[in-house]
Structure 1
Amino acid sequence: MQTEAAVLRISIAVSLLVSALGIGFGLMSGSFSITFDGVYSLLDSAMSLLTLFAARLITSYARDEGISERLKERFTMGFWHLEPLILALNGSLLIALTLYALINAVSSLLAGGRALEFGWAIGYAVITLLLCSVMGFTERRANRRLQSDFIRLDMLGWVMSAGITAALLVAFSIGYLVESTPWAWIVPYVDPAVLSLVCLVLIVMPVSTVRKALADILRVTPAELKAHVDEVATATCEKYGFLSYRAYVSRMGRARKIELYFMVPEEGAKRHLREWDALRTEISEALGDAGPDRWLSIVFTTDSVWAD
């Protein structure tokens, strides 16, 4: 669990196991909510595979490891743009799937509910809740160090699955206890009712992830990063007597792209290339976060046409 790829590989394996359990137990118990849980896990597994592929591309390109020359020629700006695209797709699919389940649950309630086998349902809920809780806790602990948006979304998926399963376990237990009592008339409504409540809660959870991913896709300037760049650029202008600057900042998933243009007066432009490079190094250190996911360009010019 030391790398992003290792965490995602384990998540995919457990997701496939949960999916198989959900679909199998759902068919045996006659529960649409369990079947939904299995399909949800299957979708999560498919998206995790895509996420793992993209994470490998991004990391390999940033570190210049294991990328073919053909890919380098086709994608000279790297693969960072894949991250927000996948996050937006993943979050949108989760919302769509939850909305579909909600519609089916309401339809079932209006039709008088459905009968199910509580023994199989409770057994499934106990096993799956344990698996989801362990994975959510494990990914949360791993991501404290890795700080990956991919893992964060995957962890959200496990938390959502654990929430679904916990609600199912409570509902199935109640249904089992009242099955032979005067309250037995509520039994057919247990499955669609709890699924409706779970969907209403879960449908809003991926919204923030989709919103952030769309902001990255649309290249919305992150205010906090722009403020920091402006602060460094202003201090540089004051220190070296530059006339002004232009700053262009964007975020693409984990990548931060910064372009800085400094307007230099004619009399101050007569420096050796080594001096300009030393000044670039100074600005880079002031900006900080000089990792493989930062794309930094610094230009000095006497003509503002090159900056606007």
Structure 2
Amino acid sequence: MTAKPRFFDLSDERGVLRTSISVTLMISSLGIGFGLVSGSFSIVFDGIYSLIDASMSLLSLIVVNLITAHAVSRNLPLKMRERFSMGFWHLEPMVLGLNGTLLIGVAIYALVNALGSLLEGGRDLEFGWAVVYGVITLVVCISIAMIETRANREIDSGFVRLDIKAWVMSAGITAALLIAFCLGYAVQDTEWQWISPYIDPAVLALVCLLIIPLPVSTVRRALADMFLVTPADLKAHVDKVARTFVEKHGLDSYRAYVARVGRSKEIELYFIVPADAPARTIGEWDALRAEIGEAVGGEGPDRWLTIVFTGDSEWAE
């Protein structure tokens, strides 16, 4: 009997996401609390950013559970299986695209507010509380990013990969804030104290400019998956396998249709059989399909492979 995985199992995609959600909620509460105490909008933004990130991680976890349950035929109601007979892979790029878009949107919103604050003369804050928050949060962000990076070397999950980016972005925000807060604390009661009201919005604006481009590649990949853009590398591999098979078995030609949707690879292969080809039994046709499947590779719950043999090319168009 297979042992039930631990709730925070770092060797499992869902365990990593659960860990990330729990820590993110803690950081979010810490950020909002310290932000209100210190009067720093950048810290409040960091807390709200973490809260949005936690909600997206929770949505990612739900999708992962659906994909896994459908793939292994476990813990999925019959009615839901009938309504989603082709699985839940299509939800993955939707969630990744939404996640990346929200991260970009939050950063743009914070940038606009930071610029507005600069034009209004900045804001005063308690730098002591801000420095304490920065140290705690930076240590947590770096630790979680390293832990998830190590775990994802084996898991290779798009959701975890995006979550790592989010933690790196959070660490970058926090590091910049910490440097700025230390500078603000150092200039108190000096001739440079006049710059302290500008420190909080200025560093927030700079950080936002740096982090806005980071999720762009994730959004671009998600859109490509949603629009079923043919991945060039996978198409080239399938074409090579199909051409070799056609030459080996004396077939007329083939048609290949390939798409990548999240973690799934969807492949349809149509082989045009000569009209005078000898008859084969069902077992022989299945053996040919098995040969193609082995050559294509990647067999598993995330590969959707359809192989059709026909004498009429119109069925392949």
What interval of TM-score do these two structures reach, taking the shorter chain for normalisation? over 0.9
What are the superposed Cα offsets for residues 186-241 of structure 1, whole Å, 9 maximum, x if unpaired? 10000000000000000110000000000000000000000000000000000000
Counterpart AA for 1:206: P
CA distance in 1, matches of 2:75, 2:256: 33
1:278 and 2:302 aligned: no
CA RMSD of aligned residues (A): 0.6
CA contact (8 A) 1:222 1:250 kept: yes
* Equivalent residue for 2:188, pick from 161, 175, 179: 179
Match of residue 10 from structure 1: 19
Match of residue 113 from structure 1: 122
After TM superposition, the score normalised by the length of structure 2 is 0.96
Match of residue 136 from structure 2: 127
Identical residues among aligned pairs (%): 61
- For 2:125, what is the secondary structure of its paired residue? coil
Match of residue 21 from structure 1: 30
CA contact (8 A) 1:269 1:302 kept: no
State the 1:269 CA deviation. 4.8
CA contact (8 A) 1:112 1:188 kept: yes
- Higher mean displacement: 65-74 or 77-86: 65-74
State the 1:156 CA deviation. 0.6
What are the superposed Cα offsets for residues 137-159 of structure 1, whole Å, 9 maximum, x if unpaired? 00000000000000000111100
CA distance in 2, matches of 1:83, 1:260: 24
Match of residue 60 from structure 1: 69
* Equivalent residue for 1:200, pick from 201, 209, 214: 209
What are the superposed Cα offsets for residues 104-139 of structure 1, whole Å, 9 maximum, x if unpaired? 000000100000000110000000001111110000
* Equivalent residue for 1:72, pick from 78, 81, 86: 81
Match of residue 264 from structure 2: 255
Counterpart AA for 1:16: L
Alignment of 1:210-249 (within 5 A): 210-249=219-258
CA distance in 2, matches of 1:204, 1:23: 25
1:153 and 2:173 aligned: no
CA distance in 2, matches of 1:307, 1:64: 31
CA distance in 1, matches of 2:227, 2:305: 20
What are the superposed Cα offsets for residues 73-99 of structure 1, whole Å, 9 maximum, x if unpaired? 100110000000000000001111000
When residues 225 and 272 of structure 1 are mapped into structure 2, their CA distance, relative to the original with a 3 A threshold, is: same
State the 1:257 CA deviation. 0.1
CA distance in 2, matches of 1:196, 1:179: 22
Counterpart AA for 1:104: N
State the 1:180 CA deviation. 1.6
CA distance in 2, matches of 1:288, 1:210: 28
* Equivalent residue for 1:49, pick from 54, 58, 65: 58
What are the superposed Cα offsets for residues 153-180 of structure 1, whole Å, 9 maximum, x if unpaired? 0111100000000000000001100112
Counterpart AA for 1:259: E
CA distance in 2, matches of 1:214, 1:105: 30
Match of residue 276 from structure 2: 267
What are the superposed Cα offsets for residues 42-97 of structure 1, whole Å, 9 maximum, x if unpaired? 00110111000000000111111111100111001100000000000000011110
Task: Point out 4+ residue stretches in structure 1 off by more than 3 angstroms.
Answer: none
Match of residue 293 from structure 1: 302
Match of residue 97 from structure 1: 106
- Structure 2 unaligned regions, length at least 5: 1-9
Aligned residue pairs, count? 308
Match of residue 163 from structure 1: 172
1:138 and 2:147 aligned: yes
CA distance in 1, matches of 2:277, 2:155: 44
State the 1:267 CA deviation. 2.0
- For 1:268, what is the secondary structure of its paired residue? coil
